[in-house]
Amino acid sequence: MTQTLQTDWRPVIKDLEAAIGKDSVIRRKEELLVYECDGLTSYRQRPAVVVLPRTTEQVAAAVKVCDRYQVPFVARGAGTGLSGGALPVEDCVLIVTARMQQILELDLENQRIVVQPGVINNWVTQAVSGAGFYYAPDPSSQSVCSVGGNVAENSGGVHCLKYGVTTNHVLGLKVVLPNGEIMDIGGKVQEMPGYDLTGIFVGSEGTLGIATEITLRILKAPESIQVLLADFTSVEAAGSTVSDIIGGGIIPAGMEMMDNFSINAVEDVVATNCYPRDATAILLIEIDGLEAEVAAMSDRIKAICRQNGARDVATAVDPEERLRLWKGRKAAFAAMGKLSPDYYVQDGVIPRTQLPYVLREIEALGEKHGYRVANVFHAGDGNLHPLILYNNAVPGQLAKVEELGGDILKLCVKVGGSISGEHGIGADKRCYMPDMFSAADLETMQWVRQTFNPKGLANPTKIFPTPRTCGEAASAQVNPKFASIERF
Ligand SMILES: Cc1cc2nc3c(=O)[nH]c(=O)nc-3n(C[C@H](O)[C@H](O)[C@H](O)COP(=O)(O)OP(=O)(O)OC[C@H]3O[C@@H](n4cnc5c(N)ncnc54)[C@H](O)[C@@H]3O)c2cc1C
């Protein structure tokens, strides 16, 4: 299929300006530069136009213009995504939700809040914490990423081990479909009859439309919280501890692992002065609940850590100490900048019991390819984040690092895991979809996309491999009948 790229943008821009106002349309090349990538900076493409709507109606008006001229559009929240989901496609309109930052409704009695998609994740907790509530999904990027982006990526975070990822906290959505129609899906209560369209939309990475209002579930803050830091001299021992804690029937609120490499990078940059620099691995374990329950869990976890050979288990009880422990973990990606000009982060998932084996294999793969790999991840969920350090200025390094990342993903699939835990597939991992899914699985997903997005205008080229993006071999499993919506 030949590409149908829009060459004369004047009528499109005129209509966009008429639809949402001149001051909401960005066209100057130097201003567009900011939008040419997301957190996966190795992929870049300048959009033709950026629009900054304020309301659902303005989003719908902008999408209708795209539909009228058959130009693709890509939604963007804060642009912190790590899989190239908000990466513009050639000659597209980028619809940015950064001005949609209102909290529309707060219903504490029924534990829900309605927000616009550009609201930043931790503003939700800030809005309700005074009344003793919080919003559980807490990606490490929570001080900058948007709720709309979280919905599209089905984001996770430290507290998702016990409380579930974004999809478990989204009750309903107002959505602008790719033809500009506005649709309400889900509702204000958890149990809705019929197909679970909210479940389908959450995690759809902007390929089914744009969420413009989001109803979230908020939780009552626990009575008591403790954070434990367990210090190990072997990765195997830390990995076995994770399995033993969960196998023992304890579900901590969060359980994160950092290897020696990450510990030292974090201490160099953030100086928590809490992480033992000579530890081979540490576990950060948060437990919450009623005071007596937390005390009992804490004792059992400490015993399990010691049985597995932990050198020490420290406890942070007061909020300041807890924050200090988490500050290092949350800054871990950024700290890699101290060690290397660039890093490439992967996001595979494995069964928890495979942690020691997979971490050893990752180390061996790093050695084989000649790159350093730091590991910092959601250990309780088996959600790995190997950070591969490289220098993008050196020609050829990026391709090699992507190959290493691909080998790590294939390893995750081999042990019964997945190619993404929370960062999405986007542009980065689409070529690995056939490693995980059969032709029939991929076809079913394509039918879903086609139902919402029949012309393929919403975030084309993402999630699924095509001959153009991944070559004939990788896309062989994708049914050619969907080629018409892969034309961009
Ligand atoms: C340092 C760092 C740490 C991170 N830690 C975590 C972590 O712990 N857990 C985690 O899950 N992620 C993490 N991320 C990844 C990222 O922050 C999340 O994926 C986040 O949800 C993206 O939100 P965003 O607003 O930046 O979305 P964007 O990057 O702007 O967009 C992401 C995707 O959402 C789509 N989209 C955006 N808004 C909408 C909308 N309103 N409707 C429909 N589609 C939309 C886009 O098209 C794109 O496909 C981290 C990123 C960084 C840089």
3-state SS string over the chain?
Answer: CCCCCCCCCHHHHHHHHHHHCHHHEECCHHHHHHHCCCCCCCCCCCCCEEECCCCHHHHHHHHHHHHHHCCCEEEECCCCCCCCCCCCCCCCEEEECCCCCCEEEEECCCCEEEECCCCEHHHHHHHHHHHCEECCCCCCCCCCCEHHHHHHHCCCCCCHHHHCCHHHHEEEEEEECCCCCEEEEECCCCCCCCCCHHHHHCCCCCCCCEEEEEEEECEECCCEEEEEEEEECCHHHHHHHHHHHHHCCCCCCEEEEEEHHHHHHHHHHCCCCCCCCCCCEEEEEEEEECHHHHHHHHHHHHHHHHHCCCCEEEEECCHHHHHHHHHHHHCHHHHHHHHCCEEEECCCECCHHHHHHHHHHHHHHHHHHCCCEEEEEEHHHCECCEEEEECCCCCCHHHHHHHHHHHHHHHHHHCCCECCCCCCCCCCCHHHHHHHCCHHHHHHHHHHHHHHCCCCCECCCCCCCCHHHHHHHHHCCCCHHHHHHHCC
Instruction: Answer yes or no: is the C-beta of 175 below 6 A from any ligand 1 atom.
Output: no
Q: How far is the CA of 79 from the centre of ligand 1 (A)?
A: 7
Whether 458 and 206 have beta carbons less than 8 Å apart is answered as: yes
Closest atom of ligand 1 relative to the 151 alpha carbon: 21
User: Count of CB atoms within 10 A of residue 90's CB?
Assistant: 15
Find tokens 């309700």 and name the residue: 128
Q: 10-96: what fold?
A: 3.30.43
Work out the average pLDDT over 449-466.
94
Largest CA distance in the chain: 70
- Rounded mean pLDDT, 51-74: 97
Q: How many residues does the chain have?
A: 488
Residue 485's pLDDT band (cuts 50, 70, 90) = low
Judge if the beta carbon of residue 141 lies within 6 A of ligand 1: yes
Residue ranges of the chain assigned to CATH 3.30.70.2190: 224-332
Would you state the pLDDT for residue 72? 97
Nearest of 141, 147, 11 to residue 82 by alpha carbon: 141
pLDDT band of residue 188 (cuts 50, 70, 90) is confident
Tens of pLDDT, residues 341-395: 999 999 999 998 898 899 999 999 999 999 999 999 999 999 999 999 999 999 9
Query: Nearest residue CA, atom 15 of ligand 1?
Result: 81
CA-closest candidate to residue 430, choices 1, 66, 89 = 89
pLDDT > 70? residue 484: no
**Residue range 101-127: average pLDDT?**
98
Cα–Cα distance for residue pair 456/474, rounded to 1 Å: 20
Q: Which of 174, 160, 153, 177 is nearest to 77 (CA)?
A: 153
Cite the residue boundaries of each domain of the chain with CATH code 3.30.43.10.
10-96
Residue carrying the six token digits 């009623």: 290
pLDDT at 5 over 60: no
Distance 18 CA to ligand 1 centre (A): 30
Sequence ranges of the chain with CATH classification 3.30.70.2740? 340-414
3, pLDDT greater than 50: no
Share of the chain above pLDDT 70, in %: 98
Compute the distance between CA of residue 307 and CA of residue 247 in angstroms, rounded to an integer. 14
Find where tokens 């914490």 sit: 129
Protein residue with its CA nearest to atom 21 in ligand 1: 150
> Which among 95-109, 326-340, 354-368 has the top mean pLDDT?
95-109
Q: Tell me the sheet residues that pair with 215.
A: 114, 172
Whole-number pLDDT of residue 172? 97
Q: How confident is the model at residue 480 (pLDDT cuts 50, 70, 90)?
A: confident
- Which amino acid, residue 156? G
Q: What are the φ and ψ backbone dihedral angles of 8, each rounded to 5 degrees?
A: -100, 105
pTM of the model: 0.94
Q: Which whole number is the average pLDDT over 225-236? A: 95
Per-residue pLDDT at 122 exceeds 80: yes
Q: Per the structure block, which two tokens stand in for 62?
A: 């902008």
**Dihedral Cα 394, 395, 401, 404, nearest 10 deg:** -130
Q: Chain-wide mean pLDDT for the chain?
A: 93
Average pLDDT over residues 247-258: 95
CA of 378 to the centre of ligand 1 (A): 17
CATH fold of 224-332 reads Alpha-Beta Plaits (3.30.70)
CA–centroid distance, 140 to ligand 1, in Å, is 11
Rounded to the nearest 5 degrees, what angle is found at the Cα of 147, between the Cα atoms of 143 and 148?
A: 135
The Cα 203–Cα 153 span in angstroms is 4
* CA–CA gap between residue 263 and residue 382 (Å, rounded): 19
What span, in angstroms and rounded, lies between the C-alpha atoms of 449 and 440?
14
Q: Which band of pLDDT confidence, cut at 50, 70 and 90, is reported for residue 476?
A: confident
Query: Does position 296 have pLDDT exceeding 50, yes or no?
Result: yes
User: Which residue's CA is the nearest one to ligand 1's atom 53?
Assistant: 80
The packing angle between helices 355-369 and 235-247, to 10°, is 150
CATH assignment of 340-414, given 3.40.50.720, 3.30.70.2740, 2.30.30.40, 3.50.30.30? Answer: 3.30.70.2740
Q: How confident is the model at residue 475 (pLDDT cuts 50, 70, 90)?
A: confident
The span from the CA of 298 to the CA of 289, in Å, is: 11
Question: Percent of the chain scored above 90 by pLDDT?
Answer: 86
Distance CA 267, CA 225 (A): 24
Whether 423 has a pLDDT exceeding 60, the answer reads yes
Cβ 76 under 6 angstroms from ligand 1: yes
Check if 38 has its Cβ closer than 6 Å to any atom of ligand 1: yes
Q: Whose CA is nearest to atom 34 of ligand 1?
A: 149
Rg for the chain, CA atoms, rounded:
23
The model's confidence at residue 1, banded by pLDDT at 50, 70 and 90, is very low
Q: Is 333 in the pocket of ligand 1 (CB under 6 A)?
A: yes
